[in-house]
Amino acid sequence: MRLKKVYKTLVFIGLGLLFLSSIALAETVKTPAEKTNYTQYSQNEKITHFLGQVDHLSNEMTVQIIGQTKETRNYGEKDLYLCIITEEGADCPHKLNRNKPTFLLVATQHGNEQSAKEAALWLIRDLALGDLKPLLKKTNFLIIPQANPYGNWFDQRRNEQDLDLNRDHVKLEAPEVKAIHRVFREWMPEVTMDVHEKGDDFYQVSIGCVSNANISYSLQKFSRNTILTEVEENLKKRRITFHEYLITQRMGVDSSAGVRYRPEDMGKPETMKRYSTTDLNDGRNSLGIYETLSFIQEGASRHDIETLKERTIWQYYGIRFFTESIARHGEKINSMVRGFRENLLEKAKVYSEEDLVHLRMQYARDEDEPELKLKKQERTETPIRGILKVDKKAGDPLTQEDIAPYPYPRAYKIVDEVVTNWFPKVEPIVSTPRPLGYIIPAEHLDVIDTMLFHEIKIETFTKDMSLEVEAYGTVEVVPAKYDYLPPEKIDVEKKTLQTIVKKGDFYISCAQAGANLIPCLLEPESQYGFIRYWKFKLVPEAGNFFPFYRFVKPEELPLIPYKNWVR
- What single letter denotes the amino acid at residue 479? P
Residue 273 lies in a domain: no
Tell me, yes or no, whether 405 lies in a domain: no
Q: What is the pLDDT of residue 318?
A: 98
Report yes or no on 359 lying in a domain.
no
Mark whether 19 and 67 lie in a shared domain: no
CA dihedral 328, 331, 333, 334 (to 10 degrees): 140
> What pLDDT, on a 0 to 100 scale, did the predictor assign at position 164?
97
334 and 443 together in one domain: no
> Are residue 8 and residue 44 in the same domain, yes or no?
no
Q: Which residue has the higher pLDDT, 412 or 174?
A: 174
- Give the tens place of pLDDT for each residue, 383-393: 666 777 777 77
CA pair distance 198, 373, nearest whole angstrom: 20
**CB atoms near residue 313 (< 10 Å):** 19
The model carries a pTM of 0.91
Judgement on whether residues 305 and 175 belong to the same structural domain of the protein: yes
Which one, of 52, 63, 67, 116, lies nearest residue 85 by Cα?
A: 63
DSSP E strands: which ranges in 168-318? Answer: 191-197, 205-209, 242-244, 246-250, 271-275, 293-299
| Residue 322 counted as domain residue | yes
pLDDT tens for residues 2-11? 544 544 454 4
- pLDDT over threshold 70, residue 12: no
pLDDT tops 70 at residue 559: yes
DSSP of 443-472: T-HHHHHHHHHTT--EEEESS-EEEEEEEE
DSSP state of 224: I
Q: What is the pLDDT of residue 13?
A: 52
Same domain as 328, residue 442: no
Confidence of residue 21 (pLDDT cuts 50, 70, 90): low
Residue 421 lies in a domain: no
Residue 126 DSSP SS3: helix
Rounded mean pLDDT of 322-348? 98
Average pLDDT over residues 319-337: 98
Residue 62 lies in a domain: yes
Q: What distance in Å separates the CA atoms of residue 449 and residue 567, rounded to the nearest whole number? A: 13
Question: Does the pLDDT value for residue 44 go beyond 90?
Answer: yes
Average pLDDT over residues 456-464: 98
Whether residues 65 and 19 share a domain: the answer is no
Same domain, 125 and 22: no
Looking up residue 158, the CATH number of its domain turns out to be 3.40.630.10
Distance CA 180, CA 61 (A): 19
Q: How far is CA 320 from CA 80, 98, 160, in A?
A: 23, 22, 31
pLDDT at 225: 97
User: Is the same domain home to 535 and 451?
Assistant: yes
Mean local confidence (pLDDT), 118-131: 98
Both 463 and 554 in a single domain?
A: yes
Exposure of 321 in the CB half-sphere (CA atoms within 13 A)? 24
Assess if residue 152 is contained within a domain. Answer: yes
Q: Which of 287, 318, 348 is the C-terminal boundary of a domain?
A: 348
Q: Which of 348, 379, 402 is the last residue of a domain?
A: 348
- Residue 19 has a pLDDT of 54
pLDDT of residue 11: 43
Q: Are residues 111 and 48 in the same domain?
A: yes
Condensed to tens digits (0 to 9), the pLDDT of residues 291-319 reads 999 999 999 999 999 999 999 999 999 99
Same domain, yes or no, for 7 and 53?
A: no
Predicted confidence (pLDDT) per residue in 362-384, tens digit: 999 999 999 999 999 887 766 66
Domain span at 290: 31-244+279-348
Least confident of 19-28, 45-54, 153-162, 340-349: 19-28
pLDDT at 227 over 70: yes
Distance CA 197, CA 204 (A): 10
Q: Is the pLDDT of residue 266 over 90?
A: no
Q: pLDDT value at position 383?
A: 65
Task: Confirm if 284 and 294 have CB atoms less than 8 A apart.
Answer: yes
Query: How many domains does one find in the chain?
Result: 3
Give me the mean pLDDT over the 266-285 stretch: 90
Q: Looking at residues 509-532, what average pLDDT do you find?
A: 98
Mean pLDDT of the chain: 93
Tell whether 206 is covered by a domain. Answer: yes
Q: What is the mean pLDDT of residues 219-224?
A: 97
532 three-class SS: helix
The answer on 541 and 483 residing in a single domain is yes
Answer yes or no: is pLDDT of 84 > 60: yes
